[in-house]
């Protein structure tokens, strides 16, 4: 009797445990199933391009939209936000900026110094002269700027024409006509901030400058076609690409593009086989963004290798005839594209 009671109690216990386990398992299965549905995507326009953020978890759409609207206003070289104010401010008058603008400028000035000006966030006088400022860019032109004007613009296109004061987050212009432009680091900086908002889990895409956590298939745009020149499956990485094919016009059959070299001419202007596209991979999207522009200016050389090593980044550089790899880039170049 006693024995039978004990068995039935044990049996009840087993059934109850089984039921509980079943419930837990069903709940887990349901979560797995709904996992692909709870993925959120926010898309919009900012910084002269689009942004798209894919993430799971708590709804951060509003925070993402607010961030991008602040950066869009503050990073515009021509406008009423922080950089616009600095560019129109008189010499010697400190302009107070918000913490994002200051952080981006501090990082940009550092990379500019470390790359001996190859990455130059103060090149806006040249950008304007070559008709790439957003307010004047049309994608067409019939003549080049005057050589004397280029020389003058080079003199005022340097980060040494500005003073950053960390104590009160202010920026002071030191030379008349000097102007800043965060166009070559802004999208990367935005991707890094977006990635922070989504707790480092998901995909932050700011105008095709990426920060990703989970493994995704990624391609590099063919700079001279509509297909791709390289591909990779990447995770926990930042990826940025700069090239001469994104903003350009032709004068007498010669391509004039928006990345300014140290001599005041578009990067690679006097080169026989100029670099036309650079993809940099690393940990920070802002750094990858800035370095992709820097390498468009330096081309493939020992200085480029040293710069990438300094920031722990890798790069793939394409010319019209082939490619160079610096460091161990995760991208596999498509068959048919030859090594230079």
Q: Is 38 in the site for other proteins (CB under 8 A)?
A: no
Return the number of other C-beta atoms located less than 10 Å from residue 40's C-beta.
16
Instruction: Give, as one character, the DSSP assignment of residue 134.
Output: T
Dist. CA 188–CA 242, nearest whole Å: 11
Q: C-beta of 18: minimal distance to other proteins in Å? A: 5
Annotate each residue in 166-205 with x if it binds other proteins (CB under 8 A) or - if it does not, as one string.
Answer: -----------------x---x---------------x-x
Dist. CA 219–CA 149, nearest whole Å: 39
* The dihedral sign for the CA sequence 140, 143, 148, 149: negative
Single residue of 2, 138, 272, 302 touching other proteins by CB under 8 A: 138
Q: C-beta of 221: minimal distance to other proteins in Å? A: 4
Q: Is 220 in the site for other proteins (CB under 8 A)?
A: yes
Dist. CA 128–CA 192, nearest whole Å: 28
Q: Is 87 left (phi over 0), alpha (psi -120 to 50) or beta?
A: alpha
Single residue of 108, 194, 212, 256 touching other proteins by CB under 8 A: 212
Specify the residue, 92 or 139, whose C-beta has the smaller distance to other proteins: 139
Q: Is 95 left (phi over 0), alpha (psi -120 to 50) or beta?
A: beta
241-260 binders of other proteins (CB under 8 A): 241-243, 246-247, 258
Question: Position of tokens 């990624």?
Answer: 218
Q: Which stretch binds other proteins (CB under 8 A): 41-49, 83-91, 105-113, 152-160?
A: 41-49
Q: Which residue in 221, 234, 230, 218 sits closest to 332, CA to CA? A: 230
Q: 150: helix, coil or strand?
A: helix
Task: By CB under 8 A, name the binding residues for other proteins.
Answer: 11, 14-15, 18, 21-22, 25-26, 29-30, 32-33, 36-37, 43-45, 48-50, 52, 65, 137-139, 183, 187, 203, 205, 207-210, 212, 216-221, 223, 226, 228, 239-243, 246-247, 258, 277, 279
């Amino acid at each position: 009797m006693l024995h039978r009671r004990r068995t039935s109690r044990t049996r009840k216990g087993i059934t109850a445990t089984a039921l509980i386990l079943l419930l837990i398992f069903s709940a887990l299965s349901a979560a797995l199933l709904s996992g692909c549905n709870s993925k959120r995507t926010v898309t919009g326009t900012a910084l002269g391009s689009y942004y798209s953020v894919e993430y799971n978890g708590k709804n951060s759409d509003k925070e993402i939209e607010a961030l991008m609207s602040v950066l869009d206003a503050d990073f515009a070289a021509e406008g009423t936000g922080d950089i616009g104010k600095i560019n129109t401010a008189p010499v010697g008058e400190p302009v107070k900026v918000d913490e994002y603008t200051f952080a981006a400028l501090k990082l940009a000035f550092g990379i500019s110094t470390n790359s001996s000006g190859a990455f130059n966030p103060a090149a806006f006088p040249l950008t304007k002269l070559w008709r790439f400022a957003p307010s004047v860019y049309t994608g067409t032109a019939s003549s080049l700027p005057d050589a004397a004007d280029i020389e003058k613009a080079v003199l005022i296109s340097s980060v040494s024409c500005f003073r950053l004061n960390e104590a009160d987050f202010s920026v002071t212009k030191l030379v008349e006509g000097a102007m800043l432009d965060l166009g070559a680091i802004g999208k990367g900086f935005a991707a890094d901030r977006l990635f922070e908002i989504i707790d480092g889990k998901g995909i932050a895409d700011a105008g095709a400058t990426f920060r990703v956590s989970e493994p995704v298939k990624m391609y590099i745009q063919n700079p001279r076609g509509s297909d791709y020149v390289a591909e990779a499956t990447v995770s926990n990485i930042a990826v940025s690409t700069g090239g001469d094919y994104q903003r350009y016009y032709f004068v007498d059959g010669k391509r004039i593009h928006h990345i300014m070299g140290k001599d005041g001419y578009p990067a690679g202007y006097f080169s026989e086989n100029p670099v036309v596209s650079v993809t940099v991979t690393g940990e920070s999207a802002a750094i990858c963004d800035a370095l992709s522009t820097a390498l468009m200016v330096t081309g493939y050389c020992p200085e480029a290798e040293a710069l990438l090593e300094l920031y722990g980044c890798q790069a793939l550089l394409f010319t019209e005839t082939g490619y160079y790899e610096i460091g161990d880039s995760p991208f596999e170049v498509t068959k048919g594209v030859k090594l230079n």
